[in-house]
Amino acid sequence: MSFSERIAGILYMRDPGFLWRTIGWLLAPLGWLYGAAMRLRAARYAGGHATVYQAPCPVICVGNLTLGGTGKTPVTIFLARALQQRGRRVAVLSRGYRGSLAGQTTVVSAGETPLLSAAQAGDEPVLLASALPGVPVIIGAKRAAAAQLAVEKYGCDALLCDDAFSHLALRRTVDVVLVHGRDGLGNGRCTPAGPLREPPAALQRATVIVLNNTAGEDPRTETEVRHAGYHGEILRLRYAGVAWRNLRTGATVDPGMLSDPRVVAFAATARPQQVFKTFADSGMAIARTVAYRDHHAYTDADLAQLAKLAAQDGICYLATTEKDAVKLPSEPPTGTTVLVASLELAGEADSLTRLIDIVEERCWPNQPSF
């Protein structure tokens, strides 16, 4: 388990031991101050004391309240495809986190192949651009400028904001908030004393809350959400499976058809251990795992080291996520094949269908659903 994942796990503990409970109390004043600042900031926007840009078309935000992964990007991809299939001209707006161009408003894709690398635009925008043919992807710290560009240059009539729940300078029509089904709101404190980006009451801004139950659901999670003052619908989804492909050839790969399904799995995500479990559940035999810091920028040396680890055990396959694959700097060394996992979503009790229905009802209330 990586150091960052250990820290995240500690922050999410609802019932920590004495040591971590003590550390939590020591950090609590800082968490309280941060939370107070975020409450004041939200109040300024809500009260009209800070500028909010109103886009000329519906804006759908997919975000979360906590630090770490809750499945925002797969849900963004699902919504973009669903809206595209219903005839909407969709664009995705992203911050471009950890990309060298993150401060600029820049087109990552005009709906064809990515125009920028992950080093320039960040891993998630490039992943979105690769996964969504026909959908422009634009990065920018100021989402209002990105929204204007999407509408003026591409004639978009629907805007999807990835990871923007706390970005209040752009008015949204729908706020989809993802919550980890098992870990919920953790210890309920704001960073650095806990995992929250804003106090729990911020969930009252959500249009719909979606619990990601891939790792299971703790019954306390829904209780925490309700105690925060949220009274709307709660939907549930999970990763139902994995579609594998060969990175170099693009060919579909069935783990059951491999002569040797052993792999060295690697990931630079917020929850790498959960990723590795998903790989194993798909039929891959995980021989070794390597976890990097979230958003890690891979180098040729990283790839060579991974190939060396595999070769030591006579393994010829490396396995990773789509988000990691877009950051690989080159082809793997001869004799090593990279397999890439695409996560498939499934809703509990038709939650995915209900999610797109909620979006359409809010965004286009006077138009019939498809």
Q: Which DSSP helix (H) or strand (E) runs through 225?
A: helix 219-227
pLDDT of residue 369: 58
CATH second-level architecture of 239-344?
3-Layer(aba) Sandwich (3.40)
List the one residue out of 163, 43, 21 whose CA is nearest residue 94: 163
How crowded is residue 111: how many other Cβ atoms within 10 Å of its Cβ? 17
The answer to whether 200 and 188 have CB atoms below 8 angstroms apart is yes
Task: Single out the residue of 83, 75, 60 nearest to residue 159, CA to CA.
Answer: 60
Would you write out the chain's pLDDT as a tens digit for each of its 370 residues?
A: 444 445 555 666 666 667 777 777 788 899 999 999 999 999 999 999 999 999 999 999 999 999 877 889 999 999 999 999 999 999 999 988 878 887 789 999 999 888 898 889 988 999 999 999 999 999 998 999 999 999 999 999 999 999 999 999 999 999 999 999 999 998 899 988 888 999 999 999 999 999 999 888 999 999 999 999 999 999 999 888 889 999 999 999 999 899 888 999 999 988 888 889 999 999 999 999 999 988 888 999 999 999 999 999 999 999 999 999 999 987 888 889 999 999 888 887 789 999 999 999 999 998 765 5
Angle between helices 72-85 and 351-363 (to 10 degrees): 60
CA distance 176 to 207: 6
Residue closest to 151 by CA, chosen among 163, 159, 162: 159
Please give the helix or strand (H or E) that residue 133 lies within, else none. none
Crossing angle of helices 123-131 and 72-85, in 10° steps, is 30
Is the Cβ–Cβ distance between 77 and 97 less than 8 Å? no
Q: Which residues contact 366 (CB under 8 A, 6 or more apart)?
A: none
The structure's pTM equals 0.89
pLDDT value of position 1: 45
Tokens of 225: 């959400």
Cβ atoms of 243 and 341 within 8 Å: the answer is yes
N residues, the chain: 370
pLDDT at 5: 47
Nearest residue to 75 (alpha-carbon basis) of 58, 92, 56, 88: 92
**3-state SS class at 137:** strand
d(CA 110, CA 114): 8
Longest alpha-carbon distance in the chain: 64
Q: Which of 225, 211, 223 is nearest to 182 (CA)?
A: 211
Whole-Å CA distances, 17 to 22, 24, 230, 300: 9, 10, 30, 41
Tokens of 243: 């579609």
Rounded Cα distance between 279 and 312, Å, is 21
Amino acid sitting at position 23 = I
Does domain 59-238+346-363 correspond to CATH entry 3.40.50.300? yes
Domain(s) of CATH 3.40.50.300: residues in the chain = 59-238+346-363
Separation between Cα atoms, residue 327 and residue 335, nearest integer Å: 20
What's the pLDDT score for residue 308? 93
Amino acid at position 259, single letter: S
pLDDT at 13: 65
pLDDT confidence of residue 368:
64
142-178 CB burial, b ≥16 within 10 A, e <16: bbbbbbbbbbeebebbbbbbbbbbbbbebebbbbbbb
